[in-house]
Chains A and B, each alone.
Chain A
């Protein structure tokens, strides 16, 4: 067997299911899934407004849900026996809104505040009723008049169209960036542990008698790198499945593209990170650097993903692994920026490996 493969395989096998690595991955996976479930069932969900209808207002039972739905409002309509009973239910918190009275003079009872959109809807219904009566009084058919009114609309020209899914795309970019950052930090820790243990136990010296330093470096990168990749793929696939299954993400194409480019940048990033990390000191500096890069990247991606500064930073090695996948998902990165960023990262990697010292 090739010696590089032999050394890399040993490093991989000794770490891939080790307790610290497994523990970190399980923790990240649990946090990710918890976040997605909270987003799906707590933060992102809308409880329907419970509306009770009393008296003549019962006639609104069919039309009211349609009117509110056109404004993006979900309601649950029910009938109550009397106004007094409805008021009691509002006080008890069993109803959010009680609607009573004639259609041309509806009376609304709430515990505290009336949803502005619901107020607009109910006002519209009352005004419509009054308008119908006035038109009928003038001898015209209200349906004909309203039909003509509905046809009269403004014409619209949009100079800057905002992507309605932009927030979702940015969120995907940030989460992918976070996962790549965490995976790189984990790989840095593993590479450092391997380098420190190699010097302490003399195993590095033994291998160097049969392997040139550059090839040993390759083997030492491959072991922790593939370990991190396996865990990143596992956590990422779980995240993709849960995000799509819960409906938190409605853009599967963007999600898969973001995840795929994240994996590519992890592979490049881990080569750089593993080359730098030979001591605990450098690993700590690198970890701090990764956090700074992630925070800055998130700010830039959220505030101005298409800006010049963001575009320039996204092709530079420290920022590319986190920022470029995010910009690709948002759809503001040009295709040529990817090979440029990859090229710059490879140049940095070549410089780092040339300076790497194998023995103390």
Chain B
């Protein structure tokens, strides 16, 4: 028994050493790429002063959800800044945006393919089931083993968690196109590309938007958890505040997280509804 556990642990350590000796350039490359994406988005978000971002968010909120939401949203973001958590709030947002962007870049095409090819859908479903069954916390393990501390690890774990809803709901949307409309397309002699872009895709848009909203929310949950691996942002603020039992800071950071989450969730949901 003892020997099995020791053997397991040494094998894992050896394998990781071997990987870091022989494949370091691969992981360093991925790491540099991910951190570059994250830094770029963060740079863009930090470029204007906080009140410009708040006013722009307020305007978007006003357009999609009405005056009340716009005002509350803008005030919420200004409150984040007034609590002295603006840089952390923006780096959390940058992580979420970067992770969701990667997840969608992979998930949407895969979802479209799965919607068109039933066999691919059948192969993907058990994998997606498994990913969604496991507690998100454990996805940090392989990421940290290969990438070490930092935002890149947080991004990888977050992408894994955020991808399944995008794939699932895109595939569902594509498959749900009503037969009459497909037949109509056939009858008027639509080409395959026309069939896809003019008939299937427009019908799938509500479902795809719902998938994007869910991906975003999963990404939020994970990015905050990833504070433990040094992701930066509000998650790390809360993690260190809890460890030092600094109640005031952890309350402030939680408020900032709630503000940011509600803002993004309501906005993307509203966008899904209006389409």
- Is B a genuine binding partner of A? no
| Residues on A facing B (Cβ under 8 Å) | none
| Residues on B facing A (Cβ under 8 Å) | none
